[in-house]
A = this chain, B = another copy of it.
Amino acid sequence: MNANLQAFMKKHLSPIDSQLQIQIEQIQAPKQLKEAMLYSVIAGGKRVRPLFLLAVLDFFEKQHEDAYTLGSAIEMIHTYSLIHDDLPSMDNDDFRRGQLTNHKVFGEALAILAGDALLTYSFGIVARLNNVPSDTKIDLINQLSQASGAEGMVGGQVLDMESERKRISVPELETIHENKTGALLAYSILAGAMLANAEESELKALEKYAFHIGLAFQIQDDILDIEGSSEVLGKTAGKDEASFKNTYPALLSLEGAKEKREWHYNEAISSLRLIKEEIGMLDELAAFIVKRNN
């Protein structure tokens, strides 16, 4: 990993984690529910979404007192979506990030409710931000609802379920990922830009960057499912292939998927160069995501 990015992460990861913990600990709620919420929130993860929000502020050479708090709200929504996705009636996963999934520890009912509570709470967090004008908070909440709901993340999950056991086209696959993972990632970038009071033209460029990075991120996920398991298992068949899942390598071949990943990465970077020559952390974070191995 690039040294600048390493320093950036070292600086921000621990305040992000603290903020998540503080936010949940201050809730007045049944102990068991808070435990279930906290379990998945502190289960690790790359904190990609809060990091993108912070990298956008960095890009505009700004800081914002509410950046960690807003980042934690987004991370809670991401976490709720993982808890619900892992449920037996959905992906039925027993492990996530090397740990038992929420419902394996707390039972299905509490896992569903912990997800519901994280989702609900995150809107309250945005509403209570101390250093953001009400008009901006309303914008942030409206966009968060769209990015994470039926028109975004939840809709993408439904499209993904519908695509199971049938072959779809690359544009259809893009629509799934643009919604399922892209919408909330793009929101993180937009949220950073809103905290930085970015102008309309800058927002447009960042939107394009977010679109391409979101897809590059997903393609890399698909590639890792093949190459990651090759390394560990000594065979090429990962879970995606075994379940006949629609992935970029399945639709484009492994080489084709890698080319597509590079193309999206380059598109993302060039859209930012329209605003500013020195991209800094937004380039390094993008490169990290494209080259990560987990």
A-side residues, CB < 8 A to B, are 27-30, 32-34, 37, 80, 84, 87, 89-90, 107-110, 112-113, 115-117, 119-121, 123-124, 126-128, 133-135, 137-139, 141-142, 144-146, 148-151, 154-155, 157-159, 161-162
Contacts and interface: CB of A to CB of B under 8 A. Distances in A.
A59 to B, nearest CB: 26
* Copy count, this protein chain: 2
Given A32-B158, A116-B149, A124-B146, 10 more contacts: A30-B159, A30-B162, A37-B150, A87-B112, A110-B158, A119-B119, A119-B120, A127-B141, A128-B142, A138-B138
Contacts of A110: 158, 161
Contacts of A117: 149-150, 154-155
Contacts of A148: 120
Nearest to A132: B138
29 contacts: A27-B151, A28-B155, A29-B150, A29-B155, A30-B150, A30-B155, A32-B162, A33-B150, A33-B154, A37-B150, A84-B112, A89-B107, A89-B109, A89-B112, A113-B154, A115-B116, A116-B149, A116-B154, A119-B120, A120-B150, A121-B150, A123-B141, A123-B144, A124-B145, A127-B141, A128-B142, A134-B134, A134-B138, A137-B138
Nearest to A36: B158
Given A123-B123, A145-B127, A158 B89 contact: no
Q: What 6 pairs between A and B have smallest CB-CB spacing?
A: A124-B145, A120-B149, A89-B108, A29-B150, A134-B134, A127-B142
Contacts of A133: 134
B134 A121 contact: no
Contacts of A150: 27, 29-30, 33-34, 37, 117, 120-121
Most buried by B among A121, A126, A144, A154: A154
Given A134-B137, A150-B37, A158 B124 contact: no
Nearest to A87: B112
Contacts of A142: 124, 127-128
Contacts of A134: 133-135, 137-138
A184 to B, nearest CB: 11
A113 B27 CA distance: 25
A90 B109 contact: yes
